[in-house]
Amino acid sequence: MVKVFRHHAGTGSHGRVWSRVILSLGLGLFCATFAHALPWNDDMYWQPELEAGTAARPPVADSVPTTGIEPPMSSRITERIKAGLRVRNPAEPTPQSIQNGEGLFRIYCAMCHGEQGRGDGQMVGKVVPSSDLHTERIRNQKDGYLYATIRSGGLVMPAYQHALSTTERWDLVNYVRHLQQQGARRDQSQ
Ligand code: HEC
């Protein structure tokens, strides 16, 4: 009797173990299916985060970038004139600088100012008024004025403060001067 009871008890406990295993597997599968439907898998996305491009820590007060700092400039005409008197062109108009400026001019400026700076780019008449860079007024402006215009923009002209480096902007000034000299030479020989 005892033997039989033990035998039955043994089978019974095995059966319970298996049914528990199957039940938990089933429950696991059931939960996994629903877990996918719940918005749990995007909580990495919704975590607190810094906006793209913001520094984790602001720079120490009065720290200066290794490329140096520029005096404040704005697109206001009076400010650009002031910059013209204050800022000196540090880039020698070497063939290298002019060549670099030419490449940049084709990419960033020719669509409005035209390849030769005559104010006949493809955008003229559509969204922007024409701006000839060979006029006497612009030829007589200081390098710093041209630089400030490229850096901070004009009334219509966009600012290139973030798109171009300081050196690239001075190379562009040198190239605009080069175009003006070429233009003046051509005008004289006509
Ligand atoms: C979207 C068209 C557009 C683009 C691109 C553009 N400019 Fe201009 N630019 C103008 C217009 C319009 C003016 C006339 C003045 C204004 O906007 O206030 C001007 C004026 C100027 C002036 C003379 C400032 C004055 O007092 O009139 C210079 C120098 C100049 N641009 C250089 C550049 C250079 C260099 C680039 C390329 C980095 C460039 N521009 C890109 C539209 C443009």
The identity of residue 184, as a single letter, is A
Q: Is 174 in the pocket of ligand 1 (CB under 6 A)?
A: no
190 CB-side CA count, 13 A: 6
Distance 71 CA to ligand 1 centre (A): 21
The identity of residue 129, as a single letter, is P
Would you say residue 169 lies in a domain? yes
Q: Is 153 in the pocket of ligand 1 (CB under 6 A)?
A: no
Q: What are the tens digits of pLDDT across the range 58-71?
A: 778 888 878 778 88
> pLDDT band at residue 16, thresholds of 50, 70 and 90?
confident
Nearest-atom index, ligand 1, CA of 127: 1
Given a cut of 70, whether residue 12 has pLDDT beyond it is: no
Would you say residue 60 lies in a domain? no
Whichever domain contains 91, its CATH number is: 1.10.760.10
Nearest CA to ligand 1 atom 43: 157
Q: What are the tens digits of pLDDT across the range 119-136?
A: 999 999 888 888 999 999
Given a cut of 70, whether residue 149 has pLDDT beyond it is: yes
Nearest CA to ligand 1 atom 36: 109
Would you say residue 95 lies in a domain? yes
Q: Is 170 in the pocket of ligand 1 (CB under 6 A)?
A: no
Q: Is 78 in the pocket of ligand 1 (CB under 6 A)?
A: no
What are the tokens at 116? 């030769």
Partners of residue 128 on adjacent β-strands? 124
> pLDDT band at residue 158, thresholds of 50, 70 and 90?
very high
Would you say residue 125 lies in a domain? yes
Q: What is the biggest distance separating any 2 CA atoms in the chain, rounded to whole angstroms?
A: 129
From CA 159, how far away is CA 167, in angstroms rounded?
15
Higher pLDDT, 185 or 14: 185
Given a cut of 90, whether residue 7 has pLDDT beyond it is: no
Nearest-atom index, ligand 1, CA of 77: 26
Distance 91 CA to ligand 1 centre (A): 20
Domain count, the chain: 1
Q: What are the tens digits of pLDDT across the range 68-114?
A: 788 888 999 999 999 999 999 999 999 999 999 999 999 999 999 99
Q: Is 113 in the pocket of ligand 1 (CB under 6 A)?
A: yes
Distance 126 CA to ligand 1 centre (A): 15
> pLDDT band at residue 10, thresholds of 50, 70 and 90?
very low
Given a cut of 60, whether residue 2 has pLDDT beyond it is: no
* Three-class secondary structure of residue 106 per DSSP: helix
Nearest CA to ligand 1 atom 8: 157
Would you say residue 44 lies in a domain? no
Domain holding 149, by residue range, is 77-189
